């Protein structure tokens, strides 16, 4: 599959889930399903809030340590976004199936396993948010994320696996719709000055709300136009237009 850096998304591709979404970017494609609030086993219920369960399934084989680590990050993040106190003693399930990865992902890459967790994390986060929006679950805020790498050429947005191998450090940042940093995962060596640069670039990419007139067409965001938050808004807007076509 091609590794286009521009994100694309489809809302509600699965009709038997309460909410679903498909998201593709930089060679990664993830399809997510959300069900809930649903009944939870008594031993797992929380008296004052809903339990959030996240399952990540790899493109090939069965999940392992890598998927468990990603699930823990996602579970902690989504629990801060969903209004879980509105649904005590229930369960909200989020299932994420990776359907494709960049060609080099399983082709003898020498990357450290910990580094391999980061490139796919933004796609998992973005798919989760879009699926939750599709399910109409009440959220305190939405979230957008980006993958950045510090190289000899500067800070790269959505680096390829080859770029990551050569990078000094790799970072995944996620910002809320209020402009607050919610997720910051990093691997490699970097200075505080470099981190501040990564933060500024990541915040601008995620939170910029100044698209040009033709910045978004068919749920595709051009890298030079607007930010990820505008991409999310465009996906939702397009879905609403499709759902209201029957009225015309």
pLDDT for residue 62: 87
Is residue 33 within 8 A of residue 242, CB to CB? The reply is no
pLDDT above 80 (res 53) = yes
**pTM (2 decimals)?**
0.89
Per the listing, tokens 């790899």 go with 58
C-alpha distances out from residue 58 to 1, 15, 19, 206, 224, Å: 16, 22, 20, 26, 31
Q: In 3D, which of 136, 162, 192 has the Cα closest to residue 21?
A: 136
* Confidence tier at 214 by pLDDT (50, 70, 90): very low
| Residue with more model confidence, 161 or 84 | 84
pLDDT for residue 212: 44
C-alpha distances out from residue 163 to 71, 76, 155, 241, Å: 25, 29, 11, 39
pLDDT tens readout for residues 171-194? 999 999 999 999 999 999 999 999
Of the chain, the percentage scoring pLDDT greater than 70 comes to 85
* Confidence tier at 1 by pLDDT (50, 70, 90): very low
pLDDT for residue 244: 83
pLDDT for residue 3: 63
Whether the CA torsion 22, 6, 230, 245 is positive or negative: it is: negative
pLDDT tens readout for residues 65-119? 999 999 999 999 999 999 999 999 999 999 999 999 986 544 444 344 444 689 9
Give the pairing of strands 91-100 and 51-57.
Answer: parallel
């Amino acid at each position: 599959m091609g590794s286009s850096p521009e994100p694309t998304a489809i809302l509600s591709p699965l009709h038997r889930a309460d909410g679903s979404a498909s998201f593709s970017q930089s060679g990664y494609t993830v399809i997510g399903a959300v069900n809930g609030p649903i009944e939870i086993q008594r031993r797992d219920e929380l008296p004052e809030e809903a339990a959030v369960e996240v399952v990540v399934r790899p493109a090939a084989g069965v999940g392992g340590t890598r998927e468990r680590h990603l699930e823990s990050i996602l579970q902690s993040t989504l629990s801060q976004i969903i209004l879980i106190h509105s649904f005590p003693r229930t369960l909200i399930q989020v299932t994420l199936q990776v359907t494709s990865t960049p060609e080099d992902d399983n082709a003898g890459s020498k990357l450290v396993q910990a580094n391999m967790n980061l490139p796919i994390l933004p796609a998992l986060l973005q798919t989760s948010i879009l699926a939750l929006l599709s399910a109409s679950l009440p959220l305190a805020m939405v979230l957008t994320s980006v993958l950045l790498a510090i190289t000899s050429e500067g800070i790269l947005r959505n680096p390829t696996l080859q770029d990551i191998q050569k990078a000094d450090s790799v970072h995944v940042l996620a910002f809320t719709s209020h402009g607050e940093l919610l997720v910051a995962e990093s691997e490699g060596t970097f200075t505080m000055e470099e981190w501040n640069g990564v933060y500024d670039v990541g915040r601008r990419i995620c939170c910029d709300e100044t698209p040009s007139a033709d910045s978004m067409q068919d749920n595709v965001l051009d890298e030079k136009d607007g930010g990820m938050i505008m991409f999310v808004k465009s996906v939702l807007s397009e879905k609403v237009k499709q759902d209201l076509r029957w009225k015309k």
